[in-house]
Chains A and B, each alone.
Chain A
Amino acid sequence: MDTTTTTTATNREREIIVNGQPLATAAATLAELVDKQGFAGVKVATALNGDFVAERLRAATSLGAGDRIEILTVRQGG
């Protein structure tokens, strides 16, 4: 990202909550966010404001200020 777009991006940044933590992001969609968070190529599942968002719908799911996103993976369980 060059300086010009970074400045623009900062203006477009919004505060969202990712896995319980506040995050300022310029990601416009859930797919972008997953990429920016470093999950490209990693098997994760996502939810937006409590509702499941399928992988194929992430690119079409836009993010707004205050959105709560969960990014989950498979772990040990009983």
Chain B
Amino acid sequence: MNQTEPVRGVAASPDRKPLAFYGVNVASRLLLGSALYPSPKVMSDAIHASRAAIVTVSLRREQARGRTGTRFLDLIRALPVHLLPNTAGCRTAREAITTAEMARELLETDWIKLEVIANDDTLQPDLFGLVEAATELAKRGFKVFPYTTEDLSAAERLVSAGCRVLMPWGSPIGTARGLSNPHALKTLRAYFPDLPLVIDAGIGAPSHAAAAMEMGYDAVLLNTAVARAHDPVRMAAAFASAIEAGREAFEAGLMAPSDRAQPSTPVAGTPFFDFGPGDASRST
């Protein structure tokens, strides 16, 4: 873990150190997926509107004599973003490692969003396969962005393997449920105060993303909530605003909740109007 980065906590941090992944500074705290948009143009416009600095892509089978991949690659490479290839759909460490190697050659990046999926119903990360794959990929020089859960032991193993960012799920991919386990996510944040942490998956609304940022998460990765919106371009902008607001609130220092009401208007100088005994029912 990078111990030189200041711990950000409840107290406001005067220095606004930019977010960095593996030494690469990024100006935006929104990472956006490139899938499920109604058209390539809407995808491009949504990425622009989101102000995202990192966009995820996948590797899929190319059709014989096809040019689909080339067209998509040309389109997405023209955008002013870093590309983060994923290993979506991989069920074993070996599949994920092979996919990562293929992605590195195709995109000339050693960044990899590592997904090893345990089952098709929940798309839950297989933490054992994830740690195995992350360990091997780090040895091969990859900069791994692991899609994980809020599990602390898995997180520790991933960090020991060389991961310098963790991406715990908010809730299962595509569910739009937001942060299912906020207490555990807070614990993870507190446990790794200096490590970039990104909420990945399950975000359905800008308020979910803002909540993650208010909690001190460094960034949010989402796809479906933007791509499947009635107007993906406007939704991308809405998420960008929510994420910036949530981060600003975290850095400003949120007040602690209280069980007791506290008057916000000063008590000193409160006038007391005496309406007499007949007005007792109105005096509350």
Contacts and interface: CB of A to CB of B under 8 A. Distances in A.
Interface in B48-101: 56-62, 64-70, 72-73, 76, 85-86, 88, 94-95, 97-99, 101
Contact of A76 (B57, B62, B101): B57
Given A73-B106, A74-B76, A42 B62 contact: yes
B68 A73 contact: yes
Contacts of A62: none
Kindly state the interface size class of chain A when it binds its partner. 20 to 34
B86 A74 contact: no
B34 interface: yes
B61 A78 contact: no
A78 B68 CA distance: 18
Contact of B58 (A45, A55, A71, A75): A75
Contacts of B35: 76-78
A77 B57 contact: yes
B64 A72 contact: no
Contacts of A77: 33-35, 56-59, 85-86, 88
A52 B102 contact: yes
B7 interface: no
Nearest to A51: B98
A19 B59 CA distance: 12
Contacts of A46: 102
B224 interface: yes
Given A52-B98, A74-B76, A77-B34, A42 B88 contact: no
B148 interface: no
A77 B147 CA distance: 14
B140 to A, nearest CB: 10
B107 interface: yes
A43 B70 CA distance: 7
A76 B69 CA distance: 9
Contacts of A51: 98
A47 B59 CA distance: 12
B58 to A, nearest CB: 3
Contacts of A78: 33-36, 56, 58, 86, 88, 173, 223-224
A65 interface: no
A74 B106 contact: yes
Interface string A2-22: 000000000000000011100
A18 B57 CA distance: 22
Max count, chain A CB within 10 A of own CB: residue among B34, B36, B57, B62: B62
Interface string B35-51: 11100000100000000
29 contacts: A19-B64, A20-B61, A39-B65, A42-B69, A45-B102, A50-B94, A50-B95, A50-B98, A52-B102, A54-B105, A72-B59, A72-B99, A72-B102, A73-B60, A73-B61, A74-B59, A74-B107, A75-B57, A75-B58, A75-B68, A76-B34, A76-B36, A76-B57, A77-B58, A77-B85, A78-B33, A78-B34, A78-B35, A78-B88
5 nearest interchain CB pairs?
A: A73-B69, A77-B58, A38-B65, A78-B33, A45-B102
Interface of A: 18-20, 37-39, 42-47, 50-52, 54-55, 70-78
Interface of B: 33-37, 43, 56-62, 64-70, 72-73, 76, 85-86, 88, 94-95, 97-99, 101-103, 105-107, 173, 223-224
